[in-house]
Structure 1
Amino acid sequence: MGSRNARTRRAGRRPGAPRRTGRPQDLVRRTAFEVIRAVQTRDAYANLLLPVRLRERGLTGRDAALATELTYGTLRGRGTYDAVLEVCSDRPLRRIDEPLLDVLRLGAHQLLGTRIPPHAAVGTAVELARSVVGAGRAGFANAVLRKVATRDLKAWLDIVAPPDDELGRLSVTYSHPRWIVSALRDALGPARDEIEALLAADNDRPRVTLVAKPGRATVAELVEAGAEPAAWSPQAAVLPEGDPAAIEAVAAGRAAVQDEASQLVTLALAAVPLDGPDGRWLDMCAGPGGKAGLLSGLAGGRGARLLACDLQEHRAALVRQAVDDRTAVAVADGTAPPWRPASFDRVLLDAPCTGLGALRRRPEARWRRDPSALAELGPLQRALLAAALEAVRPGGVVAYVTCSPHLAETRVVVDDVLRDRPDVQRLDAPAVLAETARGELTGLGEGPYAQFWPHRHGTDAMFLALLRRTG
């Protein structure tokens, strides 16, 4: 033991410290790898963790862009890359240690999804493997990735995508689990031939869309700071490049990052005309606060008061940061509410869901969910919608919203709850949205429900039902 420690000291390395490999650690790829591992091992969200890691390590400009591409590209393409790696490996992927498998996925993305030269892609991945799992298994990574490098992505898809199985072909080609491909195709209904365009759009990098919170910021201010007016939402601007936190209004909390569809469903709830009072609004599942921040400004501009609730304290804390001082924030269970029935004029229910509508921004969600999630979420969604209809007064309006187009989370939930509710009227959500939007907004469906689509609208696949309680 003593002689080994002496050799360690002579080598300039503390006992237990990482081995030196003769080359400086590639911080960009290491950062991407660590975020990918956090997603795998502790259910971290890449869109929340990656910016933190970039700031901690001082990665900016091209380095930050590359780390972002490697992280999101690897997460999005995992299904495709696994199919290729399975062919190139001499053992099943389930027998490969998970850290090493993530290195292989990262290397496959560099080879098949970027313009990084093959020798550099293989070399940096092998170096990362050596750092993570040791020299012995780095040799295995080298052998596998050299096989991957023998063909481009199109040639590999000709081999690994089954031509006689349409769902299988789409699943491998567009890197979506088979059950999600099937569900999205069903949700498209008569437009099911758009499925490839939808799956491709899920793999596109989303634009950074900002919301100017009413009464606190304006679109003109965001445009002056370098953004461009968005296509649909009168409160939105698109940031072509750069860090949104560098914009003063965003840094101050007067504006925020928010998808256009998320803005529009909130604006639609506020746009529905009411008979009678319009002073008490409720956001039942408000965390982390995106829609609440917009709804808070809209309510304040009309002299209304918003109550924003969430079941979890840490999410309620995020809501407090997003809303203005006139909004009350509470920790509350929407299925066992502390408020009296018929207390509110407008109610927003952004129901917990699978998040299949936000796969562009959260690509890891496609690998975390399975069909069992629908069975778990369905009863909660129905209970929350029933509670929302009890919370609103006769003549008031409820917006039922999900960031998922899955039929089991959208129209099936609404239809089930309303089957025994003759006192509830379905409003024409596409018509309300068309009047709310600043451009010609089409492709939302024939009504009464509205469904946004990434490939049609460049937004998340947000669903909206507008429901008026009549008695």
Structure 2
Amino acid sequence: MPNPDRSRRSGSRGRRTTSDPARVAAYRTLRAITADDAYANLALAEHTTELSARDAAFATQLVSGTCRGLGLYDAIIASAGGRPLRSLQPAVVDLLRLGAHQLLELRVPSHAAVAATVELARQVLSPRVTGVVNAILRKVAALDADGWATRLRKERTDAEALLARHPQWIIEAYADLLPAAELPAMLAANNEPPVPHLVVRPRLAEVAELGGRPLRWSPFGVEASGNPGDVPAVAQGRAGVQDEGSQLVAWALARVAAPQGPWLDLCAGPGGKAALLAGLARDQGERLLASELQPHRAALVAKALVSYPDSKPMVIAADGTRPAWPANSFSRVLLDAPCTGLGALRRRPEARWRRKPADLDALVPLQHELLASAIAATAPGGVIAYATCSPHRRETSEVVEAAEGIEIIDASAVLPEIPDAARGLYLQLWPHRHGTDAMFLALLRKPAATQ
């Protein structure tokens, strides 16, 4: 772990410098996340490119930890300040969040965390806000993490959820599916940043090239700490970064018996599953069509597939609900549907506070529509893989069970080597059980008699 006390002094008189690149980068990243709805990983990459490895690691630690605990820190700041957060400038709130995380979770001495955050406020905002930042953080520092837990339990009905660093509605969605005894382990797993998983492009790279430890079930990847871009096969586009759960979804579709014919990835962006599917299709003498609604994401898919020049996988920008292809055209169809992402909170810690229950009201009708389109695109006897990176019933089993013209295949039987993954006829992975994202998979067959 990098030394969290980044306050710096120089000169014989010990004057504090105003340059603290790690904290400045962390602040600018957090502002992009909270003000502009940026993804944490992309914003971090943008704001840490010029930092040393040490500073980049500390900035990442600050941002990721603050994002995981955002709701908790907001409650603590409001309680310590004796005022609602809306009475403070949003940029000041972000500074206080970073300061609270250092005080309560990192090995930063209280005086250093307060002083460094006050200096950061002076540097990135204005000297006029340093007084309120100093006053509130000193009150935050008056209690340790256990003290704040006790205080919040007296003040708030949602204290337990906040202390677990999850909104209550997400905890309830997990509790709807998991035994009560497993829920704390699931929440704890979401609060641990995952080690990156790498994946080969089949026949373009060998797993041994990637280094690291082979994944438990996917034969295509490894678990490897460090910068994936430093792995030659990744840098050359012959391998990529992909959670094992996503690898297993693609592999399951390829393992089910299906007639000959082309394959379709209906919502292919940003291209990780499409890159694996393209290689698996090529191994079976077939070709893949990858479709993505947003042109900029379609460009990412094309980039992910560029290493397959001989099999010529095609990428198009098209609306999956308004097919650009004839019905009954594909032997295998992957629908990795847009969803809340409640299964990927380890990798996207900010999403837990950004998502709201109302998001389901917009996403679920789209999921129904896309699945109907996927079924229509599938040839008689063909197979559809419906996947989401969310375990929520409304966007998983309820979508599948409302679909018409399909037969449900026992997905857990297709991947029998994975323990404790059966959810009825569906496959459900969990971070605390499997070390993957909480991927949901339903495998569906279009009856041969369907016209």
Shorter-chain TM range is over 0.9
**Structure 1 residues 263, 66: closer, same or farther in 2, change over 3 A?**
same
Which residue number corresponds to residue 103 of structure 1?
A: 95
1:445 aligns with 2:431: no
Residue in structure 1 matching 2:144, options 144, 152, 157: 152
Partner amino acid for 2:196?
V
Q: Tell me, what secondary structure is at the counterpart of 2:385?
A: strand
- Per-residue Cα deviation, 1:369-392 (whole angstroms, up to 9, x for no partner): 111110101111001001111111
Match of 1:36 among 16, 30, 34: 30
Residues 170 and 196, structure 1, Cα contact 8 Å, conserved in 2: no
Distance in 2 between residues matched to 1:311 and 1:210, nearest whole Å: 26
In the alignment, structure 1 residue 123 sits paired with structure 2 residue 98: no
Q: How far has the Cα of 1:212 moved from its partner?
A: 1.1
Q: Which residue of 1 aligns with 2:299?
A: 317
Name the counterpart of 2:18.
24
State which of 196, 211, 235 in structure 2 corresponds to 1:251.
Answer: 235
Identity of paired residues, percent?
Answer: 52
**Distance in 1 between the 2:207 and 2:84 partners?**
53
> Aligned partners of 2:156, 2:113: CA distance in 1, in Å?
33
Are the structure 2 counterparts of residues 106 and 373 from structure 1 closer, same or farther at C-alpha, using a change threshold of 3 Å?
same
Deviation at 1:79, TM superposition (A): 1.1
Amino acid in the other structure paired with 2:374: A
Deviation track 1:164-214 (CA, whole Å, cap 9, x = no partner) reads 95xx243211121222122221132xx133222111111111111101110
SS at match of 1:441: coil
Q: Secondary structure at the match of 2:177?
A: helix
Amino acid in the other structure paired with 1:93: L
Q: The residue matched to 1:273 in structure 2 has which SS?
A: coil
Equivalent AA in structure 2 for residue 368 of structure 1: R
How far 1:295 moved relative to its partner?
A: 0.5
In the alignment of these two chains, the number of paired residues is 430
Paired letter, 1:230? L
1:211 aligns with 2:199: yes
TM-score relative to the length of structure 1: 0.88
Is 1:181–2:163 an aligned residue pair? Answer: no
Could you tell me how far 1:368 is from its partner in structure 2?
1.6
CA gap 1:162/1:341 in 2 versus in 1, 3 angstroms: farther
2-side partners of 1:163 and 1:39: how far apart?
28
Query: C-alpha displacement at 1:52, in angstroms?
Result: 2.7
Aligned partner of 1:355 among 341, 364, 375? 341
SS in 1 for 2:288: strand
Alignment of structure 1 residues 77-92 onto 2, 5 Å: 77-92=69-84
State whether residues 293 and 318 of structure 2, in contact with CA within 8 Å, keep that contact through their aligned partners in structure 1. Answer: yes
Q: Which amino acid aligns with 1:69?
A: Q
Matched residue, 2:290: 308
* SS class of match (1:354): coil
Worse-matched range after superposition: 174-183 or 339-348: 174-183
Q: Once the 2 structures are TM-superposed, how far is the Cα of residue 446 of structure 1 from its aligned partner?
A: 4.1
Secondary structure in 2 aligned to 1:210? strand
Q: Distance in 1 between matches of 2:200 and 2:440?
A: 22
298, 309, 328: which is aligned to 2:314? 328
Between the aligned partners of 1:163 and 1:148, the Cα distance in structure 2 is 15
CA RMSD of aligned residues (A): 1.6
Q: Distance in 1 between matches of 2:189 and 2:152?
A: 22
* Aligned AA (1:175): R
Q: Tell me, yes or no, if the aligned pair for 2:18 and 2:119 is still in contact at 8 Å.
A: no
Unaligned ranges ≥5, structure 1: 1-20, 435-439
Equivalent AA in structure 1 for residue 189 of structure 2: A
Q: Is residue 52 of structure 2 the alignment partner of residue 59 of structure 1?
A: yes
Contact 1:265–1:464 (CA under 8 A) maintained in structure 2: yes
Gaps of 5+ in 2: 1-14
1:72 aligned onto 2:44: no
Q: Of 39, 44, 53, which aligns to 1:50?
A: 44
Structure 1 residue 163: Cα displacement: 9.5
TM-score (norm 2): 0.92
Give the Cα–Cα distance (whole angstroms) in 2 for the partners of residues 413 and 215 of structure 1: 35
Asked whether the equivalents of residues 268 and 290 of structure 2 are also in contact (C-alpha less than 8 Å), the reply is yes
- 2:218 maps to 233
Name the CA shift for 1:170/1:269 in 2 (closer, same or farther; >3 Å).
farther
CA gap of 1:105–1:233, structure 2 versus 1, over 3 A, is same
In the alignment, residue 260 of structure 1 is paired with which amino acid? E
Partners in 1 of 2:413 and 2:116 — Cα distance? 53
For 2:206 and 2:154, the matched residues in 1 are separated by 51
- The structure that is helix-richer by fraction is 1
- Measured against aligned partners, the alpha-carbon deviations of 1:389-430 in whole angstroms (never above 9, x if no partner) come to 111111110000001111110001111114xx3xx2111111
Residues 80 and 140 in structure 2, CA contact (< 8 A), matched pair in contact too? yes
Residue by residue, what CA displacement relative to the aligned partner does 1:337-382 show, whole Å, maximum 9, x if unpaired?
A: 0211110000000001111111111111112211111010111100
Q: Following the alignment from structure 2 to structure 1, what is the Cα–Cα distance between the partners of residues 110 and 65?
A: 17
Runs of 4+ in 1 over 6 A off after TM superposition: none
Measured in 2, the distance between the counterparts of 1:333 and 1:257 equals 26
